Structure 1
Amino acid sequence: MQKVNLIATSTFGLEAVVADEVKKLGYEVKVDNGKVEFTTDLSAIAKTNLWLRTSDRIRLKIGEFKVTTFEELFEKTKSLPWADWIPKNGQFPVEGKSVKSKLFSVPDVQAITKKAIVESLKKTYKVEWFEENGPIFKVEVALLKDIATLTIDTSGPGLHKRGYRDWIGAAPLKETMAAALIQITKWNPDLPLIDPFCGSGTIPIEAALIGQNIAPGMNREFVSESWPIIPRDIWRQARAETHDLAQYDRPLEILGSDIDGEILKVAKRNAYEAGVDEQIHFQRMDVRQIMSEQKYGAIICNPPYGERLSDRREVEQLYIDMGRVFTKLDTWSYYILTSYEKFETLFGKPATKKRKLYNGNLKVDYYQYFGPRPRKKKNSDGESNHV
């Protein structure tokens, strides 16, 4: 089968998480800022789009080269094998970006790249005009320090578009980020999980999908499904595998709570659309009421940040109260995402570990407080379970 070079794009700070996911699918990776690269066959286009929870999108790498003039950009782009991918009726819009490069005019970079692709396709298809009314092959030309990387997007809408969240709250957390927060914790689905600021339900829903091994892309479509070069059997088999590997009967103990009753209605609707509504208990509750009779578990949350000065005093008191409540669950682990730089001081306890991330364009820290490891005992089948 044809070999392809793929790029799983990543939010800055999550490259290692994305790389771990790609490796678990069986591919060897090369990690760079904002991306994870790997070489494989056509089937990986379907598999990675369906299964990757934390990547932003999957790009097909067509070529990469150094360029300092527009003439070089034109000639080197023209020499790439565009006709191997783009059919005669294919649509191929071009978007671009330029960082610290001599070719800094993005509109010119886009226009010249488009012209070069047209000339390349003319040579193959022996025509002077392309109607562009067929499948979509969105091209990106990315210039970084005079290195041009040309790719075609295989995903369509970003991979955070799972298909379940038509309803969102005022400050939604992307599904890919929510999945990353959970995966960083190494949460075990045998343990309870609580999100006391669940909003529209993204963290609990992503936890349920992870807990039951449900592929995040199972219920959506991808632009590359219409590409002639990818046999339909590849997509058919990849989608069949998502159903075979899902563990729909696996019981989970997930609580999503929020003080806002209206947003909880949205969360329940989203959980229903994701097919995990029976795995999550949503409850209207103030974070100060959080408690559990379970000895071990995890709290994962994205509380208010207090970015507006008018909210600052209220958020500071909230963090103080969180510290008092969470530390009562002294055998639990808890994980808090916030941009508030003095969070640990207000919370009353230094984090075991802190990780710098970006929530959208906002720099945030992920404060991780590790509880003791749950004891394990063997069941009658000889398997280990957490207790």
Structure 2
Amino acid sequence: MTTYDLIATSAMGLEALVAKEVRDLGYECSVENGRISYKGDKKAIARSNMWLRTADRVKIKVGEFKATSFDELFEKTKALPWENFLPVNAEFPVSGKSVKSKLYSVPDCQAIVKKAIVERISKHYKKTSWLEENGALFKLEVAIHKDVALLTIDTSGSGLHRRGYRVDQGEAPLKETLAAALVMLTNWTPDRPFVDPFCGSGTIPIEAALIGQNIAPGFNREFVSESWDWMEAEIWDDVRNEAESLANYDQPLDITGTDIDHRMVKIAEENAFEAGLGDLVKFKQMQISDFTTFKEYGVIVGNPPYGERLGDKPAVEKMYQQMGQALIPYDTWSVYMLTSHEGFEECYGKKATKKRKLFNGFIRTDYYQYWGKRPPRANKE
């Protein structure tokens, strides 16, 4: 059985969460900035793509080496066993990036890596003419950091945040992977009420429902590695069957998304329907200041407006204040808010129990966590 060096890439601040997911799948891993490295077979490639909720992509590491000259980059790339991955007619574009390295010209690095691979596989397949590249797609990357080149093949295709349920979205949609992370960083369990008062296109409530019923995030999409001849169809069939058998469709859920904009509520409903969760997640038009509930021990997760534009700041600060007035009285509820506004706690009227630095795209944000009272322990007979 062939074992591959795999890398799950991650947004900054989510590495520990991705690593936990990888370990939960049964693979030991090591963690660096933005990448979680582990070993696995073909099935591990498929299972990782199917199940990782918070990773960006799953890649195969073909090689990693020091390269300070173009000759060195060429020879060391050519020495790697590319024929183990690429068929004779593979389409293999090479993307690239270079940070703090002597080889800083990315187009040159891409061209050299491409040329080295062409030479290697032409020799292996005894091809004297041009490689046709009319077969399956293999997206290669050369990433050079501090003179160390990392060569990878992407197994995911579209980023893993593309779950396949988003029919429409608002102006600044939250990535599905970050939305899932926001839910997973709370103390929510599927038997407790869950509310997102700034639901926008519904991403956070939908991700909560997928987590609540243990539905694999990759269940309704395809992956580029499904077209590779050495990733047999039976592997994907097995992994999809496993996902189907592990889903708990009978788990009742109490999940609500609200938004001040009725158009976004409509979009959220369409997205939930597309995700197969139309009846499970409730959406309604409402502003945060009108929040009331008789339920207890619920969890509120929100990605409110940040007030990044100067003119928006006073309105956003007033809304944070109203939010605090509406939510603070519910002391059994836990509240989690993501924002880049540094004065959030002051506006909200209460210091957070804990805060965690996260990045929403390129925006540095804090995840403010207010923990409610714990539910009483059930008496054991």
TM-score band w.r.t. shorter chain: over 0.9
- Displacement of 1:375: 2.1
Give the deviation of 1:166 after TM superposition: 2.3
TM-score normalised per structure 2: 0.98
Does 2:14 correspond to 1:46?
Answer: no
Match of 2:56 in 1: 56
CA distance in 2, matches of 1:301, 1:291: 16
Output the CA distance in 1 between the equivalents of 2:155 and 2:253. Answer: 33
Contact 2:167–2:270 at 8 Å: present in 1 too? no
What is the correspondence of 1:359-370 to structure 2 with a 5 Å cutoff?
Answer: 359-370=360-371
**Which one is further off, 142-151 or 288-297?**
288-297
Moved more, 31-40 or 183-192: 183-192
Cα displacement string for residues 214-257 of structure 1 (whole angstroms, at most 9, x for unaligned residues): 00100000000011111221111001111101111110000100
1:120 corresponds to: 120
d(CA) in 2 for partners of 1:151 and 1:103?
A: 18
Task: Report the equivalent of 2:335.
Answer: 334
Q: Which residue of 2 aligns with 1:103?
A: 103
Unaligned runs of 5+ in 1: 383-387
Higher mean C-alpha deviation, range 364-373 or range 145-154: 364-373
The residue correspondences of 1:308-387 to structure 2 (distance < 5 A) are 308-377=309-378
CA distance in 2, matches of 1:376, 1:277: 33
Secondary structure of 2:174's counterpart equals coil
Q: Deviations over 1:92-127 (max 9, x none)?
A: 000000011111110111110111110111111111
**1:291: Cα distance to partner?**
1.7
Q: Deviations over 1:65-89 (max 9, x none)?
A: 1111110000000010111010011
- Distance across 2 between alignment mates of 1:373 and 1:2: 47
What amino acid does structure 1 have at the position aligned with 2:263? Answer: E
Report how far residue 129 of structure 1 moved: 1.4
Q: What SS class does the counterpart of residue 119 from structure 1 fall into?
A: helix
SS in 1 for 2:332: coil
Residue of structure 2 in register with 1:183 after alignment: 184
Identity %: 59
Q: Could you tell me how far 1:188 is from its partner in structure 2?
A: 0.7
Secondary structure of the residue aligned to 1:251 is coil
1:19-55 Cα distance to aligned partner (Å, 9 max, x none): 0111100000100000101011110110010000000
In the TM superposition, what are the counterparts of 1:275-286 in structure 2 within 5 Å?
A: 275-286=276-287
Is 1:36 the counterpart of 2:40? The answer is no
In the TM superposition, 1:226-237 aligns within 5 A as: 226-237=227-238
Residue 252 of structure 1 pairs with residue 272 of structure 2: no
Aligned equivalents of 1:319, 1:369: Cα separation in 2: 14
Shift of 1:378: 6.1
Task: Tell me how large the CA RMSD over aligned residues is.
Answer: 1.0
Shift of 1:192: 0.5
Q: TM-score, normalised by structure 1?
A: 0.97
- Describe the superposition over 1:324-349 as per-residue Cα deviations: whole angstroms up to 9, x where unpaired: 11101111100000000111111111
For residues 376 and 241 of structure 1, the distance between their equivalents in structure 2, rounded to whole angstroms, comes to 34
Retained in 1: the 8 A contact 2:167–2:267?
Answer: no
Task: Report the AA paired with residue 8 of structure 1.
Answer: A
1:7 aligns with 2:7: yes
Alpha-carbon separation, structure 2, partners of 1:289 and 1:26? 45
Q: Hey, what's the Cα distance between the residues in 2 that align with 1:149 and 1:378?
A: 55
Cα distance in 1 between the residues matched to 2:198 and 2:331: 20
Counterparts of 1:352 and 1:201, CA distance in 2: 26
Residue in structure 1 matched with residue 299 of structure 2 by the alignment: 298
- 2:362 is matched by which residue type in structure 1? N
Q: Which amino acid aligns with 1:192?
A: P
Partner of 1:272: 273
**Is 2:108 aligned against 1:90?**
no
